[in-house]
């Protein structure tokens, strides 16, 4: 989930209680799976890129072995559950496509029409632009808006169709244990604002909260309504999903890859030139809490690389662009080093 200064929930003056305690410094410990892999790219070359960043940085980069060439795994704090924001939208995409899985998947999601109105309006929706657009939108357009522009209204439309319970059951069936998704992005925002009716939080409630300048009282990283995962989970998921493990028909895998190839994180980092990239990012900026995540896979030559890089940190201001830029530069350099070492 991307929450910016113009969002309905970011013009807040309250601090997130205890945020600094949540993000006590954790060491960056990098490991490689084998000595041969370490010779390809010593893990400290990656971990030192993130060493001076605040808060907690977690990462995992995995390149499976190919023929006689060794694989590579670099990881640090990889098992930690952190806030990853809109990076969880890939699970919604995957489950929605699983439900349409067939040789006719493209025709199915292009013809299925979803309702766009106040029942699903949510802020940070650059494609569907509430409250100005209403009507019917195809599932395909909805899924593309959710990934390409991280549109929260599109996300809630897709969640309504796929069912948050079904998405959670899919996540559990894959063996992922650190991943949590909200019932909807709007319910998540209602919970952050401490609304007693957060489970039935309406668009009118959001508008009223904005007018009243209601403070954020719950941390984005919580156990009730959140967008959280670990580098271990996201790398394990992408290493399977991008190879079609969760789909019966090759057409569904193609559609999954096609939509993920539109992910804005590919150009935000940016990922190294010359790779086929499939990724979804996420971020949040609220007073006292900040997070950025980029996760996915890239393919070049005959090598696949799966990755997740996440930072959660405490800073009192609504935005901290210096840290964001430093993290994205480190992520770009890390993935560029991996590509260079394996090419």
pLDDT at 23: 44
Q: Are strands 228-229 and 135-138 parallel, antiparallel or unpaired?
A: unpaired
Single pTM value for the model: 0.91
pLDDT at 155 over 50: yes
Share of the chain above pLDDT 70, in %: 88
What's the rounded mean pLDDT across residues 132-153?
Answer: 98
pLDDT at 5 over 60: no
Chain-centroid distance of CA 190 in Å reads: 20
Give pLDDT tens digits for 54-107: 999 999 999 999 988 889 999 999 999 999 999 999 999 999 999 999 999 999
pLDDT at 25 over 50: no
33 to 13, 30, 61, 71, 92: CA distances (angstroms): 46, 10, 11, 8, 31
What's the rounded mean pLDDT across residues 272-279?
Answer: 96
Chain-centroid distance of CA 207 in Å reads: 26
pLDDT at 295: 98
pLDDT band at 145 (very low <50, low <70, confident <90, very high): very high
Q: Where are the alpha helices (DSSP H) in 250-320?
A: 250-260, 265-268
pLDDT at 165 over 90: yes
Torsion, CA 72, CA 43, CA 326, CA 55, rounded to 10:
110
pLDDT at 26: 60
> Domains plus CATH for the chain?
19-342 (3.40.710.10)
pLDDT at 146 over 90: yes
pLDDT at 20: 37
211 to 152, 155, 207, 208, 288: CA distances (angstroms): 20, 24, 6, 5, 21
In degrees and rounded to multiples of 5, residue 179 shows phi and psi of: -95, 130
Q: Where are the alpha helices (DSSP H) in 212-320?
A: 231-241, 250-260, 265-268
Give pLDDT tens digits for 284-316: 999 999 999 999 999 999 999 999 999 999 999
pLDDT at 30: 65
Provide the mean pLDDT of the chain.
Answer: 90
What's the rounded mean pLDDT across residues 42-61?
Answer: 95
pLDDT at 196 over 70: yes
Letter string b/e over residues 214-236, b meaning 16 or more CB atoms within 10 A of that residue's CB: bbbebbbbeeebbbbbbbbbbbb
Residue 94 contacts by C-beta under 8 Å, 6 or more apart in sequence?
170, 241, 246, 256
Tell me the helix, strand and coil percentages in the chain, rounded to 5.
Answer: 40, 20, 40
Residue 163 contacts by C-beta under 8 Å, 6 or more apart in sequence?
none
pLDDT at 41: 81
Ranges 26-30, 41-45, 172-176, 187-191: which has the least confidence: 26-30
């Amino acid at each position: 989930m991307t929450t910016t200064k113009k969002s309905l929930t970011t013009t807040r003056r309250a601090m997130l209680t205890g945020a600094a305690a949540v993000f006590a410094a954790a060491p960056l410990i990098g490991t490689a799976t084998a000595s041969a892999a370490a010779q390809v790219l010593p893990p400290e070359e990656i971990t030192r890129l993130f060493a001076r960043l605040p808060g907690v940085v977690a990462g995992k980069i995995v390149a499976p072995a190919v023929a006689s060439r060794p694989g590579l795994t670099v990881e640090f704090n990889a098992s930690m559950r952190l806030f990853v924001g809109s990076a969880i939208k890939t699970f919604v995409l995957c489950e929605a496509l699983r439900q349409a899985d067939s040789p006719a998947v493209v025709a199915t999601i292009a013809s299925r029409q979803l309702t766009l109105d106040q029942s699903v309006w949510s802020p940070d929706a650059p494609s569907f632009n509430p409250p100005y657009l209403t009507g019917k939108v195809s599932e395909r357009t909805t899924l593309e808006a959710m990934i390409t522009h991280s549109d929260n209204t599109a996300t809630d439309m897709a969640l309504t169709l796929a069912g948050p319970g079904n998405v959670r059951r899919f996540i559990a069936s894959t063996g992922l244990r650190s991943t949590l998704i909200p019932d909807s992005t709007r319910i998540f925002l209602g919970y952050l604002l401490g609304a007693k009716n957060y489970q039935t939080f309406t668009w009118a409630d959001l508008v009223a909260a904005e007018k009243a300048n209601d403070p954020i009282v719950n941390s984005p990283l919580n156990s009730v309504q959140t967008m959280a995962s670990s580098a271990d989970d996201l790398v394990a998921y992408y290493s399977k999903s991008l190879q079609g493990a969760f789909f019966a028909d090759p057409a569904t895998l193609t559609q999954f890859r096609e939509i993920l190839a539109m992910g804005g994180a590919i150009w935000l980092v940016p990922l190294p030139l010359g790779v086929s990239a499939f990724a979804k990012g996420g971020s949040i900026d609220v007073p006292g809490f900040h997070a950025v995540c980029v996760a996915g896979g890239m393919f070049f030559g005959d090598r696949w690389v799966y990755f997740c890089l996440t930072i959660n940190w405490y800073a009192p201001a609504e935005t901290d662009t210096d840290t964001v830029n430093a993290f994205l530069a480190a992520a770009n350099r890390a993935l560029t080093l991996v590509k260079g070492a394996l090419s």
